[in-house]
Structure 1
Amino acid sequence: MTAKRLLVLATGGTIAGRAGSATRRDYRPGQIEIDEFLDSVGSLGLDVQFAGRQLAAIGSENMTPDIWAAIHAAIVEGMADDTIDGIVLTHGTDTAEETALLLDLTLPTTKPVVMVGAMRPADAVGSDGLRNFANAVRVAADDEAAGRGVLLVMSDRVIAARDVRKARTSGTDAFAGFPRDGIAHVTPSSLEWYGPSWRDDEDARFAFPKRFPTIPILYAYAGMQPDVVTDCLASKAEGIVVAGFGEGNMPDSVRAMLAETAKAGTPVVRSTRVDMGLVDREPEDERNRFVAARALGPGKARILLQLLLANGVREPAKIQAVFDRR
C-alpha cells in the first residue's frame, strides 16, 4: 500500500523553538525551519511522506489576520491537490484555539486538518514536540479523521476545534475541551476514536473574511464602569464580546450601556471569564438584544462574531442561532 502523503505547514511556535540550553526557562519560538524539522522527524520512522512549507516563524501571540489568510489559502490548496491526503499545521499554543475555530468554520471537511504544538522547546529536557507531531501525523493519515473538522493534537489527546482551549500556562497537559474533552486517544503507535465522524463531506460554513471586523473583548471586573463601552465605540468597534462574571454577568451600569449599544445596531455577545461552562440565554437578552456565547469562551466567541459580521449576519436572533449550533 502506498504511504500517505501529508502537507506540513509551519508557523513557528514552541514546537519549533530553541532555548540554547536544556534547562533554561526562556526560549525563542519559531527557530527551527520546516526542512530542519522534517529532517529530525525522519528519525521517528513514520510511514508517511511529507511535503513541507514554511508560512511564518512566530510565537502565536503574534498571529495576525494576514498569517491566517496565508494558512487558509495553503490548506485550501492542499485540499485541492490529489497527491495530498491530509494537512498538519504546526502552531504556537497561545492562540491555537482561535486559529482552530477560524479554520474549522471556513474549510470543508473532505481531508483531515490537524493542528499540533508543544509546551516545551525542542532542546528542553522532556520536550514534547516530536511526540505530539508523531501523534498528529497518525491522526492526519487516518481515513476516519476526515469529516470531523479541524482537530488539535496535544498530550496524546485529539480535541475538536469547537471544544479546545488552553487551560494551563505550563506543563505538557495544557489543553482541555469543553463541553467535549478529547474525541480520540492517540499515541505514535495507536489511535482510538470515541465515536463516528459528524461532518462528512461538509462544505465550509463561512467564507474566509476579506477583512476581519473590529471586535474588542471587555473583561468584567469589580468596579467596572460604563465608560469602557464608550471607549470601545470611540475606537470604531463593530461588535463587542463581554468576558463576564459567572454566566456572562456584568455590573448593571455596564449592562445598561451595552443594551443601548446593541439596540443601536452593534452586536453584543455575553461570554464568561470562567474557564469552562455554558453561558445560556437569560430572560433579559431578548429585550437587550444580547447574544449568549453558549460554550465558546471570549476569544472564540470573538472569532465567530467576526465571521458572522464579515458574512453579513447582524441580526441578534440569527447570530444566536449560529452560537447555539453544535
Structure 2
Amino acid sequence: MNRPHIRILATGGTIAGSAGSALKRGYRPGQIGIAEMVAQAQALGLEAELDGHEVAAVGSQDIGWREWQALHRHIADAYADDGVDGVIVTHGTDTAEETAWLLDLTRPAGKPVVLVGAMRPADAVGSDGMRNFANAVRVAGDPDASGRGVLVVMGDAVFAASDVRKSATAQIDAFRGFPRGPLGLVNPASLDWFGPPARPGDPARFAWPEALPRVEIVYAHADMDAAPVHAALAAGSRGLVLAGLGHGNAPASVIAALAEAGVPVVRSSRVDEGSVDRNVELDDDGLGFVAARALNPQKARILLQLLIAEGVDEIAAMQAAFDRR
C-alpha cells in the first residue's frame, strides 16, 4: 500500500512556539520552522510522506488577508497536484475557526484539508503539538476524510469547520463543536469516524474574492448606547454583525441604529452555544436583519463578508446562506 503524500502549510502559532523553558508559561509563537517539525514527525515513523512549506510564522491573532491568500493559493496547487493526497495547515488556535471556515466556504469538498494547532508550546511539559500533528497526518491521509470539507484536529477529536470553536483559553481540550460535536475521534494509531462524508463532490460555495469587504462585530453589553454602531459605519464597514445578548438582542437604541445603518446586519449571540433564530427575539422581517442561526459572531462575519463580496444584497438570499448547513 502506498503511503499518502501530505503537504504541510505552516503559519506559526503555538504548535511552532517556544518558551525556552519546560516550566515557563509565556512563549513566542512561530519559532520552530516547518522543516524541523516535519523531521520530528517523520522520526515518529508516521505512515505518510510529508513535504513542508512555510507560509507565515506568526501568532494567529496576526493572521489576515495576506496569509489567507497564500493558503488559498497553496491549497489550490495541492488540489491540482495528483501526487498530493491531503493538506495540513499548522495554525494558532485563537483564529483557527475563522481560517478554517473561510477555506471551507471557498474550497470544494475534495482532498482533505486539516487545520491543526496546539495549546502548549513545543518545549513545555505536556506539550500537545506533536500528538495533534500526528493525529492530523492520520486524518489528512485517510481516504474517508475526503468529502467532509475543511477539518480541524485538536485534542484527539476531528471537527467540521462549520461547527468548531475555541471554548477555553488554555486547556488542552479547548475546542468544541456546535451544533454537531466531533465528526470522529483520532489518535496516532487509529481514526474512527462517526458517520460517512456528508459533502462528497460538493463544489465551493463561494469563489475566492479579490478582497474581503470591511465588516465589524458590535459587541452588546448592559448600559450600551449606539456609539459603536456609528463608529463602525464611520470606519467604512459595509456590513455589521451583532454579538448580541442572549438570543441576539441589544438595547433599544442599538437595535434602532442597526435598523437604520443602511448596510446588512446579522444578529448573532455572545453566548458560547446556541442558535439565533429568525423572528424570535426581534422582528427580523420588519427590521431587515439576518439571523446567524448556529454561527458565532466571528464565523457570521466571514460568511457576511463573502456574501457582500459576491454582490448578494437581498435579505432573503442572505438568510438562506445562514440557514444552510
TM-score interval, normalised by the smaller of the two chains? over 0.9
Unaligned runs of 5+ in 1: none
**CA deviation vs aligned residue, 1:156-188 (integer Å, no higher than 9, x gap):** 000000000000001110000000010101011
Counterpart check, 1:223 vs 2:223: yes
The answer for the alignment partner of 1:274 in structure 2 is: 271
Equivalent position amino acid for 1:125 in 2: V
The answer for the alignment partner of 1:294 in structure 2 is: 293
User: Aligned ranges for residues 66-105 of structure 1 at < 5 Å?
Assistant: 66-105=66-105
Instruction: Give, in whole Å, the separation in 2 of the partners of 1:4 and 1:211.
Output: 34
User: Aligned ranges for residues 136-285 of structure 1 at < 5 Å?
Assistant: 136-261=136-261, 264=262, 266-282=263-279, 284-285=283-284
Query: What secondary structure, in the 3-state scheme, does the structure 2 residue paired with 1:216 have?
Result: strand
What displacement does 1:227 show? 2.3
CA contact (8 A) 2:38 2:51 kept: no
Query: What secondary structure, in the 3-state scheme, does the structure 1 residue paired with 2:308 have?
Result: helix
Greater displacement, 90-99 / 280-289: 280-289
Query: What secondary structure, in the 3-state scheme, does the structure 1 residue paired with 2:180 have?
Result: coil
Instruction: Give, in whole Å, the separation in 1 of the partners of 2:244 and 2:146.
Output: 36
**CA deviation vs aligned residue, 1:249-270 (integer Å, no higher than 9, x gap):** 1001111111112xx3x00000
Instruction: Give, in whole Å, the separation in 2 of the partners of 1:232 and 1:172.
Output: 35
**CA deviation vs aligned residue, 1:134-153 (integer Å, no higher than 9, x gap):** 10010000000000000000
Unaligned runs of 5+ in 2: none
**CA deviation vs aligned residue, 1:211-253 (integer Å, no higher than 9, x gap):** 1111110000111101222111111110000000001010011
TM-score normalized by structure 1? 0.98
What displacement does 1:43 show? 1.9
Instruction: Give, in whole Å, the separation in 1 of the partners of 2:230 and 2:14.
Output: 38
Query: What secondary structure, in the 3-state scheme, does the structure 2 residue paired with 1:243 have?
Result: strand
The answer for the alignment partner of 1:5 in structure 2 is: 5
Percentage of matched positions with identical amino acids: 58
Instruction: Give, in whole Å, the separation in 1 of the partners of 2:179 and 2:109.
Output: 21
Instruction: Give, in whole Å, the separation in 1 of the partners of 2:222 and 2:3.
Output: 57
Query: What secondary structure, in the 3-state scheme, does the structure 2 residue paired with 1:61 have?
Result: helix
Query: What secondary structure, in the 3-state scheme, does the structure 1 residue paired with 2:283 have?
Result: helix
Greater displacement, 42-51 / 95-104: 42-51
Equivalent position amino acid for 2:104 in 1: D
Greater displacement, 155-164 / 311-320: 311-320
Off by >3 Å, runs of 4+ in structure 1: none
Query: What secondary structure, in the 3-state scheme, does the structure 2 residue paired with 1:218 have?
Result: strand
The answer for the alignment partner of 1:316 in structure 2 is: 315
Counterpart check, 1:49 vs 2:49: yes
Equivalent position amino acid for 2:317 in 1: K
Instruction: Give, in whole Å, the separation in 1 of the partners of 2:193 and 2:157.
Output: 10
Instruction: Give, in whole Å, the separation in 2 of the partners of 1:162 and 1:64.
Output: 19
Instruction: Give, in whole Å, the separation in 1 of the partners of 2:183 and 2:141.
Output: 16
What displacement does 1:279 show? 0.3
**CA deviation vs aligned residue, 1:263-296 (integer Å, no higher than 9, x gap):** x3x0000000000100001161011100000000
